[in-house]
Amino acid sequence: MKPDRAVLPGLIGPVLILVLLTIVAFIARPITPIDETRYVSVAWEMWLKHEYLVLLKNGAPYSDKPPLLFWLFNLGWAVGGVNEIWPRLVSPLFSFGSLLLTLSLGRRLWPGEGGVQCHAAWILSSCLLWMLFSTTVMFDVMLTFFVLLGLRGLLMAADGAMRRGFIWLAAAIGFGILAKGPVALLHVLPAAALAPWWRPGLNWKRWTGGVLLAVLGGAAIALAWAVPAAIQGGEEYRRMIFWGQTAGRVTDSFAHDRPFWWYLPLLPALLFPWLLWPGLWRRFAALPRAGLDGGLRFCLAWLLPVFVCFSLISGKQIHYLVPLLPAFALFAGRLLASGENKGEGSGIWLPALAAAALGLAMIGFAPGGAAYKLGELENLPRWPGVALALIAALAAWSGRQASWRMASLAVLGAALCVLIQCYAADTFWRRYDTQPLAREVRKLQQGGVAVANDGRYHAQYQFFGRLEQPVDELKTRAEIQPWFERHPDGVLIFYGQPQPGETPLFSQPYRDETALLLDAAQARARGLLK
């Protein structure tokens, strides 16, 4: 997995970008609801109850995700105690590992061409989508790591080390399923099935048998958790982990229907700055003339079938595409490296112009500009917009030289990601930090007061409050009256806008509303009780 020594100096820039993004993420935003706070809360309940097989959320079995991320959180807490820092470091660490594995794939696909590895490192480390999820408490970068490990195993097997390669593939499939479920198979099996296209001459029967054995081996690794968890969790939990995460999840995806082309207009932003660079498009245009080598075919066999599959599924989320970004980075890196000495370069004026325009828009929405409030965003500073416009101008100037072009584009992408977070930092901390209310809930529970949540509860207060009891979930307003009859001294977490003269027990901004703690009298004054 080690990159070529000649490539090591080229890793410094991409690694510095990852370090900078990690630091900025800690400063600019908290662990945010709904997803991030839910996942650390599931890990907290695992820690609290020493229950490592059946996942729990707010005291109830949680079957939406497999356990690997939560195990890793608990492993870190076992070493350093329960803290917020370790869960926020897991994705950056997997991002670094994914960067190394991407370089390893590049070395196997194009031996002796270190320029491809360097280009791929710059591209992957500075794609906007990759930067965003490299610092979030989610599963996608971890899944990417195991996908890359499995694809590396495929290449090892294709190079002749079949036994060792398929062992790596089996391990990657198993841990990939434990990371995010059976979707791990979708990311590796198309490339395996299309091996005769990207690596002609393979012994097809032996290859197919090896892939099938690797899938069975990976399934065995996943079942080593799933079977004991199903036995311990009961019939409903067993049904959900064996069925709900596969066919049931595909069926549920139609609840958020999006057209098949939904991803396409988003790609220039998700792959910023690289997909806006005319130099890369020139290399795409030259492909019919230059043809596809085996490495490019491998990247396409990995990328296109999965992208088409996600496009055909109605329920689309941008983070589904994260494991495909290394394929894009390798493909684009190869094209750019092959055109370096052919006089086919160009400046980076278009992505620089887009970044500068965004910087000017950020200035306009700052206080005294075109608007003081933009959606949930408030108290917007001007300096990130000014800095982004200046960095865009500097990148456009330095990008005129071919030797500086890749680094200039990467710095431009990183600057945009960093400065947007700085721009919205005040809103992030005021509207997405659940710690103040979580601490109040903890005090109430420690005093023997029952607490309920108005509407669906995503466990957003369990971790930060270190809650040891569930919060009652009142899914409809009709449940509020009976709950207060059972708990006359209870307190309700209600979401809405403060009313004139109202004095709740506690309130704080929460997303696009205000979260208020109301006792029975205050709930009655709001008309929630008869």
Whole-angstrom distance, CA of residue 100 vs CA of residue 262: 31
Give the model's pLDDT for residue 227: 93
- The pLDDT, as a whole number, for residue 3 is 53
Decide if pLDDT at 13 tops 70.
yes
Q: Which of 434, 432, 423 lies closest to 379 in space, CA to CA? A: 423
Q: Which residues contact 124 (CB under 8 A, 6 or more apart)?
A: 14, 98, 99, 102, 130, 325, 326, 329
pLDDT value for 8: 63
The predicted model scores a pTM of 0.92
pLDDT at 499: 85
Confidence band of 242 (pLDDT split at 50, 70, 90): confident
Q: Which of 131, 136, 141, 139 is nearest to 30 (CA)?
A: 136
- What is d(CA 431, CA 33) in angstroms, rounded to the nearest whole number? 10
What is the dihedral sign for C-alpha 65, 69, 73, 78?
Answer: positive
**Greater pLDDT, 338 or 175:** 175
pLDDT for position 375: 54
Mean pLDDT of 140-149: 97
| pLDDT band of 377, cuts 50, 70, 90 | low
> Can you spell out the DSSP letters for 30-63?
-S-TTHHHHHHHHHHHHHHHT--SS-EETTEE--
pLDDT-based confidence at 163, cuts 50/70/90?
A: very high
| pLDDT tens digits, one per residue of 341-364 | 443 456 799 999 999 999 999 998
Task: Tell me the C-alpha distance between 208 and 192, whole Å.
Answer: 8
Q: Which amino acid is at 44?
A: W
Per-residue model confidence (pLDDT) at position 530: 78
249 pLDDT higher than 90: no
Question: At how many degrees (to 10) do helices 204-233 and 183-193 cross?
Answer: 170
- Find where tokens 């795409």 sit: 284
Q: Which of these ranges, 214-218, 408-412, 419-423, 524-528, has the smallest mean pLDDT?
A: 524-528
State which amino acid sits at residue 358.
L
Residue range 303-323: average pLDDT?
92
Residue 431 confidence (pLDDT): 92
Residue 5: pLDDT over 90: no
Rounded Cα gap, residues 361 and 356, in angstroms: 9
Residue 7's pLDDT band (cuts 50, 70, 90):
low
Q: Specify the pLDDT at position 372.
A: 47
Q: What is the pLDDT of residues 470-501, one digit of tens each?
A: 999 999 999 999 999 999 999 999 999 888 88
- Residue 277: in which H helix or E strand, if any? none
* Angle, vertex CA 451, rays to CA 450 and CA 457, nearest 5: 140
The pLDDT value given to residue 341 = 46
Q: What is the DSSP string of 342-404?
A: TT-----HHHHHHHHHHHHHHHHTSTTSS-S-BTTB-S--SHHHHHHHHHHHHHHHHTTSHHH
How many CA atoms lie less than 13 Å away from 114 in the CB half-sphere? 10
Q: In a 3-state reduction of DSSP, which class is residue 313? A: coil
Distance, CA of 16 to CA of 26 (rounded, Å): 16
Q: Which helix (H) or strand (E) holds 161?
A: none
pLDDT band at 250 (very low <50, low <70, confident <90, very high): low
> 274 CB contacts (<8 Å, ≥6 apart)?
123, 126, 127, 280, 328, 332, 351, 409, 413
More confident residue, 101 or 400: 101
Q: What percent of the chain stands above pLDDT 90?
A: 75
pLDDT at 9: 58
**Longest distance between any two alpha carbons in the chain, whole Å:** 79
* Stretch 12-34: mean pLDDT: 95
Is there a contact between 336 and 119 (Cβ–Cβ < 8 Å)? yes
CA distance 153 to 170: 9
Residue 187 has pLDDT above 70, yes or no: yes
In terms of Cβ atoms closer than 10 Å to its own Cβ (0-12, 13-18, 19+), residue 193 is middle
Give how far Cα 488 sits from Cα of 332, 388, 438, 449, 484, Å: 64, 54, 21, 10, 5
The distance in angstroms from the start CA to the end CA of the chain is 67
Whether the per-residue pLDDT at 340 is higher than 70: the answer is no
Question: What H or E segment, with its residue span, contains residue 517?
Answer: strand 513-518
Structure tokens at 525: 């004054």
Mean pLDDT of the chain: 90
Long-range pairs for 469-477: beta carbons < 8 A, 24 or more residues apart: 469/59, 469/445, 470/58, 470/59, 470/60, 471/58, 471/441, 473/58, 477/528
- pLDDT above 50 (res 440): yes
pLDDT at 50 over 70: yes
- CB 336 within 8 Å of CB 346: no
- Average confidence (pLDDT) over 110-126: 90
Whole-number pLDDT of residue 226:
93
Q: 64 by DSSP, 3-state: which? A: coil
pLDDT in tens, 256-294: 568 889 999 999 999 999 999 998 999 998 888 888 999
Q: Which is nearest to 347 in space by CA: 413, 300, 299, 393?
A: 393
**What pLDDT, on the 0 to 100 scale, is given for residue 314?**
79
